Structure 1
């Protein structure tokens, strides 16, 4: 629920020192449509169950929780954008995925629109609306730990970004830039 609070005050989480690239725009209409349908269902169930106060109270609590949960799920996506930092790319998906990719491990990046990608070993696809718009190929694998603790070695990461052209340009410029004095290659 912290994401809901950050969303209400229009703040982001974990973007300090980096450039944020959102991905929630592609799912906003669907999420708010779903929240609206849940709210209509709450009113309908309230009318239908008005003669049974105990059942009405239980269903009302569950329905209100569902509406808040749907809005909070969208809020978590808004306040946790992808972040291009000075030495890493953070690819995120709400509170479920936070993958840190060191820039020195990125072999190539390109804008690539793919719909409903098939799962493959060594690949991570974070689609929004069944689409990914950015493909990052890695020179060395990066370890991704899932929400349940399973580890995967990744060589390709595909994800959605609302401004995929801007992200690819910024990341490409960062990869092409010579290291600063004192920085390691």
Structure 2
């Protein structure tokens, strides 16, 4: 495993960009990433769609304005144009990553996989879940042992664990968490599905 110091940053950056491009391809192909054949996917990107579209629109407007301002400096204009276009691609790629990497409940494997784009992927064994509930939160203060994966500044599902699970950050920092807060487009259905899986019932 690669280190987490400054020397590892180029590797992390390249991996991040490759995952973004892979997400765009999966989104265009209407496929999801690594969703288990026997699992059930639960999306969470709907809450950020309008925000990301607005952000991309602002980037496009900024690109047009910079093109006008730099029209007398062709070399600079070309460089800035490439950067601006790539910024738009990154914004779209970040949204695509959230769409194609949903949460996945896999009763056969006994896991609940909580994700947020390409940055977070936490596998929670069902036997470690003490409780799961629908809980809308719009503020999230940092707390030891808690992981809040807000989408559109809100979480709608809270998972409390009887035993901690490991969360590894983008830069490789590892920490143990006992509470995971996430968002789902249909939080009620996710909660019910997890409760059925914990009870040993099949998830439709």
Q: Name the TM tier (shorter chain).
A: over 0.9
Match of 1:141 in 2: 164
1:158 & 1:50 partners in 2: Cα distance? Answer: 48
For the pair 1:2 / 2:22, whether they are aligned, the reply is: yes
- C-alpha deviation, 1:61, in angstroms: 0.5
2:45 paired with 1:24: yes
Number of the residue aligned with 1:76: 97
Aligned partner (choices 110, 135, 144) of residue 112 of structure 1: 135
Q: Which runs of 5+ in 2 are unaligned?
A: 1-20
* 1:4 aligned counterpart, secondary structure: helix
Give distance in 2, aligned partners of 1:36 and 1:178.
45
Residue 40 of structure 1 corresponds to 61
1:91 matched to 2:114? The reply is: yes
Q: Could you say what the CA RMSD is over the residues aligned between the two structures, in angstroms? A: 1.2
Higher helix share: 2
Is 1:169 matched with 2:192?
yes
| 1: CA distance, partners of 2:52 / 2:151 | 11
Alignment deviations for residues 140-185 of structure 1 (CA, whole Å, 9 cap, x no partner)? 1111111111111111100011110110010011112279xxxxxx
Q: Aligned to 1:117, what secondary structure does the other structure show?
A: coil
TM-score, L = length of structure 1: 0.94
Match of 1:54 in 2: 75
- The superposition leaves residues 2-48 of structure 1 with CA deviations (integer Å, 9 ceiling, x where unpaired) of 00000111110011221000111011100011101111111111112
Unmatched segments (≥5 aa) in structure 1: 180-185
SS in structure 1 at match of 2:64: helix
- Cα distance per residue 1:113-153 (max 9 Å; x no partner): 01111111001000011111000010111111111111111
Q: Deviations over 1:60-92 (max 9, x none)?
A: 001001011100010001000000012100000
After TM superposition, where is structure 1 displaced by more than 2 Å over at least 4 residues in a row? none
State the SS of the aligned residue for 1:149.
Answer: coil
Distance across 1 between alignment mates of 2:35 and 2:58: 33
Residue 13 of structure 2 is matched in structure 1 by: none
